[in-house]
Protein backbone atom coordinates (compact mmCIF):
# COMPACT_ATOMS: atom_id res chain seq x y z
CA UNK A 1 0.00 0.00 0.00
CA UNK A 2 3.00 2.33 -0.26
CA UNK A 3 3.87 4.78 -3.00
CA UNK A 4 0.47 5.00 -4.57
CA UNK A 5 -0.23 7.85 -6.95
CA UNK A 6 -1.22 11.04 -5.15
CA UNK A 7 -3.65 13.74 -6.10
CA UNK A 8 -2.02 17.13 -6.69
CA UNK A 9 -0.56 18.59 -3.52
CA UNK A 10 -1.37 22.08 -2.32
CA UNK A 11 2.16 23.07 -3.29
CA UNK A 12 1.28 22.96 -6.98
CA UNK A 13 -1.53 25.45 -6.69
CA UNK A 14 -1.03 29.15 -7.17
CA UNK A 15 -1.15 30.99 -3.87
CA UNK A 16 -4.49 32.71 -4.22
CA UNK A 17 -7.05 34.35 -1.96
CA UNK A 18 -9.20 31.22 -1.58
CA UNK A 19 -6.23 29.07 -0.66
CA UNK A 20 -4.84 31.76 1.62
CA UNK A 21 -8.06 32.23 3.57
CA UNK A 22 -8.53 28.48 3.95
CA UNK A 23 -4.95 27.95 5.06
CA UNK A 24 -5.08 30.82 7.54
CA UNK A 25 -8.22 29.33 9.04
CA UNK A 26 -6.27 26.16 9.69
CA UNK A 27 -3.23 27.86 11.16
CA UNK A 28 -5.32 30.07 13.44
CA UNK A 29 -7.26 26.99 14.53
CA UNK A 30 -4.03 25.25 15.55
CA UNK A 31 -2.90 28.36 17.47
CA UNK A 32 -6.24 28.44 19.30
CA UNK A 33 -5.79 24.77 20.22
CA UNK A 34 -2.54 25.74 21.93
CA UNK A 35 -4.53 28.37 23.80
CA UNK A 36 -6.68 25.62 25.30
CA UNK A 37 -3.62 24.28 27.12
CA UNK A 38 -3.06 27.69 28.69
CA UNK A 39 -6.77 27.94 29.50
CA UNK A 40 -6.71 24.59 31.31
CA UNK A 41 -3.54 25.60 33.18
CA UNK A 42 -5.11 28.89 34.23
CA UNK A 43 -8.35 27.21 35.36
CA UNK A 44 -6.40 24.64 37.39
CA UNK A 45 -4.37 27.47 38.92
CA UNK A 46 -7.56 29.30 39.92
CA UNK A 47 -8.87 26.12 41.52
CA UNK A 48 -5.61 25.50 43.39
CA UNK A 49 -6.05 28.45 45.75
CA UNK A 50 -4.67 31.95 46.16
CA UNK A 51 -0.98 31.18 46.64
CA UNK A 52 -0.72 28.72 43.73
CA UNK A 53 -2.62 31.19 41.58
CA UNK A 54 -0.18 34.00 42.33
CA UNK A 55 2.72 31.74 41.31
CA UNK A 56 0.93 30.68 38.13
CA UNK A 57 0.15 34.30 37.30
CA UNK A 58 3.87 35.08 37.48
CA UNK A 59 4.47 32.41 34.86
CA UNK A 60 1.53 33.55 32.75
CA UNK A 61 2.80 37.16 32.83
CA UNK A 62 6.07 36.32 31.08
CA UNK A 63 6.70 38.05 27.79
CA UNK A 64 6.35 34.84 25.79
CA UNK A 65 2.85 34.37 27.16
CA UNK A 66 1.93 37.96 26.37
CA UNK A 67 2.98 37.32 22.80
CA UNK A 68 0.87 34.17 22.87
CA UNK A 69 -2.18 36.16 24.09
CA UNK A 70 -1.73 38.57 21.21
CA UNK A 71 -1.46 35.64 18.79
CA UNK A 72 -4.54 34.04 20.36
CA UNK A 73 -6.59 37.23 20.01
CA UNK A 74 -5.53 37.71 16.41
CA UNK A 75 -6.22 34.05 15.65
CA UNK A 76 -9.57 34.11 17.40
CA UNK A 77 -10.78 37.13 15.44
CA UNK A 78 -9.77 35.59 12.14
CA UNK A 79 -11.04 32.09 12.93
CA UNK A 80 -14.38 33.51 14.11
CA UNK A 81 -15.01 35.60 11.00
CA UNK A 82 -13.64 33.02 8.55
CA UNK A 83 -15.60 30.31 10.38
CA UNK A 84 -18.85 32.22 9.92
CA UNK A 85 -17.99 32.47 6.21
CA UNK A 86 -17.59 28.70 6.12
CA UNK A 87 -20.94 28.23 7.86
CA UNK A 88 -22.60 30.44 5.24
CA UNK A 89 -20.90 28.40 2.51
CA UNK A 90 -22.28 25.25 4.10
CA UNK A 91 -25.78 26.47 3.32
CA UNK A 92 -24.74 26.48 -0.35
CA UNK A 93 -24.72 30.26 -0.74
CA UNK A 94 -22.08 32.64 -2.15
CA UNK A 95 -19.85 29.95 -3.58
CA UNK A 96 -19.33 31.53 -6.99
CA UNK A 97 -15.83 32.67 -7.79
CA UNK A 98 -16.57 36.39 -7.68
CA UNK A 99 -18.63 36.01 -4.52
CA UNK A 100 -15.95 34.05 -2.68
CA UNK A 101 -13.37 36.61 -3.71
CA UNK A 102 -15.59 39.33 -2.31
CA UNK A 103 -16.25 37.45 0.94
CA UNK A 104 -12.50 36.88 1.31
CA UNK A 105 -12.07 40.67 1.22
CA UNK A 106 -14.89 41.13 3.74
CA UNK A 107 -13.35 38.52 6.05
CA UNK A 108 -9.97 40.28 5.89
CA UNK A 109 -11.35 43.73 6.66
CA UNK A 110 -13.77 42.64 9.40
CA UNK A 111 -11.27 40.37 11.14
CA UNK A 112 -8.54 43.03 11.11
CA UNK A 113 -10.96 45.58 12.62
CA UNK A 114 -11.97 43.02 15.24
CA UNK A 115 -8.31 42.31 16.00
CA UNK A 116 -7.65 46.00 16.56
CA UNK A 117 -10.59 46.27 18.97
CA UNK A 118 -9.61 43.10 20.88
CA UNK A 119 -5.94 44.03 21.17
CA UNK A 120 -6.89 47.53 22.32
CA UNK A 121 -9.14 46.23 25.08
CA UNK A 122 -6.74 43.47 26.12
CA UNK A 123 -3.53 45.46 26.26
CA UNK A 124 -4.30 49.18 26.37
CA UNK A 125 -7.71 50.07 27.80
CA UNK A 126 -6.46 50.03 31.40
CA UNK A 127 -6.21 46.30 31.12
CA UNK A 128 -4.66 43.33 32.35
CA UNK A 129 -3.48 40.58 30.14
CA UNK A 130 -1.77 39.02 33.15
CA UNK B 1 -6.62 -15.28 3.35
CA UNK B 2 -9.71 -14.58 1.34
CA UNK B 3 -9.66 -14.82 -2.42
CA UNK B 4 -12.30 -12.16 -2.77
CA UNK B 5 -11.09 -8.85 -4.06
CA UNK B 6 -11.23 -5.84 -1.75
CA UNK B 7 -13.87 -4.36 -4.04
CA UNK B 8 -15.96 -7.53 -3.91
CA UNK B 9 -15.91 -7.47 -0.12
CA UNK B 10 -17.45 -4.03 0.16
CA UNK B 11 -19.87 -4.04 -2.77
CA UNK B 12 -23.49 -4.08 -1.75
CA UNK B 13 -22.83 -3.36 1.93
CA UNK B 14 -23.95 0.24 1.72
CA UNK B 15 -22.25 3.11 3.51
CA UNK B 16 -21.15 2.96 7.14
CA UNK B 17 -23.72 5.71 7.81
CA UNK B 18 -21.18 7.91 9.51
CA UNK B 19 -19.69 9.66 6.53
CA UNK B 20 -20.85 13.12 7.54
CA UNK B 21 -20.59 12.66 11.30
CA UNK B 22 -17.23 14.39 11.68
CA UNK B 23 -18.28 17.18 9.33
CA UNK B 24 -21.61 17.67 11.08
CA UNK B 25 -20.22 17.76 14.63
CA UNK B 26 -17.54 20.21 13.49
CA UNK B 27 -20.33 22.52 12.26
CA UNK B 28 -22.49 21.98 15.32
CA UNK B 29 -19.65 22.85 17.68
CA UNK B 30 -18.63 25.86 15.60
CA UNK B 31 -22.17 27.27 15.72
CA UNK B 32 -22.20 26.82 19.51
CA UNK B 33 -18.75 28.36 19.86
CA UNK B 34 -19.66 31.63 18.15
CA UNK B 35 -21.67 32.95 21.13
CA UNK B 36 -19.74 30.97 23.77
CA UNK B 37 -16.26 32.10 22.71
CA UNK B 38 -17.37 35.71 22.31
CA UNK B 39 -18.98 35.56 25.76
CA UNK B 40 -15.79 34.11 27.27
CA UNK B 41 -13.53 36.73 25.72
CA UNK B 42 -15.80 39.66 26.59
CA UNK B 43 -16.30 38.44 30.18
CA UNK B 44 -12.61 37.87 30.70
CA UNK B 45 -11.67 41.27 29.31
CA UNK B 46 -14.38 43.00 31.36
CA UNK B 47 -13.10 41.68 34.68
CA UNK B 48 -11.74 44.65 36.64
CA UNK B 49 -8.61 42.65 37.53
CA UNK B 50 -7.29 39.13 37.31
CA UNK B 51 -6.40 38.61 40.97
CA UNK B 52 -7.59 35.42 42.65
CA UNK B 53 -10.52 36.94 44.56
CA UNK B 54 -11.99 38.68 41.52
CA UNK B 55 -11.67 35.57 39.38
CA UNK B 56 -13.16 33.29 42.05
CA UNK B 57 -16.15 35.58 42.62
CA UNK B 58 -16.79 35.68 38.87
CA UNK B 59 -16.25 31.99 38.27
CA UNK B 60 -18.36 30.77 41.19
CA UNK B 61 -21.54 32.40 39.89
CA UNK B 62 -23.81 29.64 38.58
CA UNK B 63 -24.27 31.25 35.17
CA UNK B 64 -20.53 31.69 34.71
CA UNK B 65 -19.73 28.12 35.80
CA UNK B 66 -22.33 26.71 33.46
CA UNK B 67 -21.21 28.70 30.42
CA UNK B 68 -17.53 28.09 31.21
CA UNK B 69 -18.07 24.31 31.36
CA UNK B 70 -19.96 24.44 28.07
CA UNK B 71 -17.20 26.55 26.54
CA UNK B 72 -14.38 24.25 27.71
CA UNK B 73 -16.15 21.07 26.58
CA UNK B 74 -17.28 22.35 23.19
CA UNK B 75 -14.01 24.16 22.47
CA UNK B 76 -11.93 21.04 23.21
CA UNK B 77 -14.29 18.93 21.12
CA UNK B 78 -14.09 21.35 18.19
CA UNK B 79 -10.32 21.59 18.58
CA UNK B 80 -9.96 17.81 18.63
CA UNK B 81 -11.99 17.46 15.44
CA UNK B 82 -9.97 20.20 13.74
CA UNK B 83 -6.52 18.98 14.80
CA UNK B 84 -7.47 15.45 13.74
CA UNK B 85 -7.95 16.66 10.17
CA UNK B 86 -4.69 18.61 10.25
CA UNK B 87 -2.79 15.54 11.51
CA UNK B 88 -4.48 13.29 8.96
CA UNK B 89 -3.41 15.67 6.21
CA UNK B 90 0.20 16.24 7.19
CA UNK B 91 1.39 13.25 9.23
CA UNK B 92 1.77 9.90 7.51
CA UNK B 93 2.58 6.30 8.29
CA UNK B 94 2.84 4.89 11.81
CA UNK B 95 3.46 8.34 13.26
CA UNK B 96 -0.05 9.37 12.25
CA UNK B 97 -1.72 6.91 14.62
CA UNK B 98 0.60 7.83 17.48
CA UNK B 99 0.03 11.56 16.98
CA UNK B 100 -3.75 11.09 16.69
CA UNK B 101 -3.83 9.11 19.94
CA UNK B 102 -1.74 11.77 21.70
CA UNK B 103 -3.91 14.60 20.34
CA UNK B 104 -7.07 12.84 21.52
CA UNK B 105 -5.61 12.10 24.98
CA UNK B 106 -4.40 15.69 25.34
CA UNK B 107 -7.85 17.03 24.53
CA UNK B 108 -9.52 14.67 26.98
CA UNK B 109 -7.07 15.79 29.67
CA UNK B 110 -7.68 19.48 28.93
CA UNK B 111 -11.46 19.01 28.98
CA UNK B 112 -11.47 17.05 32.25
CA UNK B 113 -8.98 19.38 33.96
CA UNK B 114 -10.98 22.42 32.89
CA UNK B 115 -14.35 21.08 34.05
CA UNK B 116 -12.83 19.79 37.31
CA UNK B 117 -11.31 23.18 38.05
CA UNK B 118 -14.53 25.08 37.29
CA UNK B 119 -16.62 22.74 39.45
CA UNK B 120 -14.12 22.95 42.31
CA UNK B 121 -14.37 26.73 42.28
CA UNK B 122 -18.15 26.64 41.83
CA UNK B 123 -18.58 24.43 44.90
CA UNK B 124 -16.32 26.66 46.97
CA UNK B 125 -13.34 24.34 47.04
CA UNK B 126 -10.67 26.97 46.43
CA UNK B 127 -10.87 29.85 48.90
Are B86 and A118 within 8 A, CB to CB? Answer: no
| Lowest-confidence pick of A7-21, A75-89, B1-15, B28-42 | A7-21
CB nearest A49 (choices: B41, B83, B126): B126
| pLDDT score of A130 more than 80 | no
Distance of CA A26 to CAs A23, A75, B30, B124, Å?
5, 10, 14, 39
Question: Best mutation site among B40, B47, B126, B127 for testing chain A: the one with the most A CBs within 10 Å?
Answer: B126
What percentage of chain B reaches a pLDDT higher than 70?
99
ipTM of this predicted structure: 0.87
Question: Best mutation site among A28, A35, A39 for testing chain B: the one with the most B CBs within 10 Å?
Answer: A39
B22 C-beta neighbours (distance < 10 Å), count: 12
For residues A106-114, give the mean pLDDT.
94
Measured CA to CA, the distance from residue A39 to residue A34 in angstroms comes to: 9
Measured CA to CA, the distance from residue B56 to residue A54 in angstroms comes to: 13
Measured CA to CA, the distance from residue B68 to residue B61 in angstroms comes to: 10
Mean pLDDT of chain A: 88
Residues B118 and B68 sit within 8 Å (Cβ to Cβ): yes
**DSSP labels, chain B:** ---S-HHHHHTTS---S-TTHHHHHHHHHHHHHHHHHHHHHHHHHHSS--SHHHHHHHHTSHHHHHHHHHHHHHHHHHHHHHHHHHHHHH--THHHHHHHHHHHHHHHHHHHHHHHHHHHHHTT---
What percentage of chain A reaches a pLDDT higher than 90?
63
pLDDT digits (tens, 9 = 90+) for A81-97: 999 999 999 998 988 88
Q: Supply the pLDDT for residue A125.
A: 75
Measuring CA to CA, which residue among A88, A78, A85 is closest to residue A31? Answer: A78
> CB contact, 8 Å: A122 with chain B?
yes
Residues B122 and B69 sit within 8 Å (Cβ to Cβ): no
CB nearest B30 (choices: A49, A53, A87): A87
Query: pTM of the predicted model, to two decimals?
Result: 0.87
In what helix (H) or strand (E) does residue A52 lie, and over which residues does it extend? Answer: helix A50-60
| pLDDT score of A3 more than 80 | no
At A12, the pLDDT band (50, 70, 90 cuts) reads: low
| pLDDT score of A46 more than 60 | yes
| pLDDT score of B78 more than 80 | yes
Residues B32 and B71 sit within 8 Å (Cβ to Cβ): no
For residues B102-106, give the mean pLDDT.
97
Residues of B in contact with A57 (CB under 8 A): 50
Residue A124 DSSP symbol: T
A49 burial class (0-12, 13-18, 19+ CB within 10 angstroms)?
Answer: middle
Amino acid sequence: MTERPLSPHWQVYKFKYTLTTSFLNRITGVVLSLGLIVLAYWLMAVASGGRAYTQALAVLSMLIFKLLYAALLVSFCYHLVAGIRHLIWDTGRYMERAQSKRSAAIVSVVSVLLMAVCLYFAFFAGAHAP
Amino acid sequence: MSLRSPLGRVLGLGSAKEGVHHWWVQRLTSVALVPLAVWFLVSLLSLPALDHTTVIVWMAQSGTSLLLILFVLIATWHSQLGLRVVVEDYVHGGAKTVVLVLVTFAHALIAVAGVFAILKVAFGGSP
